[in-house]
Chain A
């Protein structure tokens, strides 16, 4: 019996070491990688300009859609804007902009100054709609296909690497 107890103690010691080793090597920052492959459902994006609502069916019209969450008060949104302008020229891609907790006058000024890359502009004045997309800060962008399956999620401003990744995906056919 003493041998069994000793073995249990050794086993527990090794187990605790393994748990510590595993925990210390694990990524502790929140990651949204698990969202890739998920289907977005219950999409109802209210138009920035009128009463129109963009739904899941509207996404079927384009092979790929990039949903970009932005605001005029968001400084990093200015950094990623030139990439969005370039991506708006791509044939296989439509960009949907979701104006997040912003004032209409400021958002319009922002787009007049930097250009409008959006095929459709939606508004989320309270931020509640963005929760449906798993958004927790802006800028964030989600690349989806025509079945609203998430292909890639970008947290923070788009950079050159992200830009190239998007181009590679949408031109992979």
Chain B
């Protein structure tokens, strides 16, 4: 009897967790999709007609078993990279992605140089 109860609890918990994962994924996708008819809002933040339609489309695509990247790819095919808040690396934005790392390296080199210089003086 105790085993049966534990089994029921396990499956209930599993079901809740699976549902939670689905919700997290859906809202994560919504947050990365720009509402094209709003001012600086994602579709997660908007209740505009366009945002509501896009949410339905995202839900349909998830139900069809599409992965997050496939959903982004589908929508950027239709609306361009502008619809994504975090677009993929391409020719137009590689500097945006690479510059922080480059700045970090250059900054590191400068700091090392300054430390060495000050230690030599001392």
Contact = CB atoms under 8 A, between A and B. Distances in A.
Interface of B: 36-37, 49-50, 53-54, 56-57, 60, 75, 77-80, 82, 103, 106, 110, 113, 117
Contacts of B117: 1
Contacts of A127: 49, 53, 56
Contacts of B82: 30
B113 A5 contact: yes
Interface string A38-55: 100000000000000000
Contacts of B60: 128
Contact of B78 (A1, A8, A132): A132
Contacts, number: 42
Per DSSP, are chain B's interface residues mostly helix, strand or loop, or mixed? helix
Contact of B50 (A12, A31, A136): A136
B82 to A, nearest CB: 6
B56 A133 contact: no
Contacts of A137: 37, 50
A21 interface: no
A112 interface: no
A32 B78 CA distance: 9
A34 B106 CA distance: 36
A134 interface: yes
A131 interface: yes
B88 to A, nearest CB: 15
B95 to A, nearest CB: 8
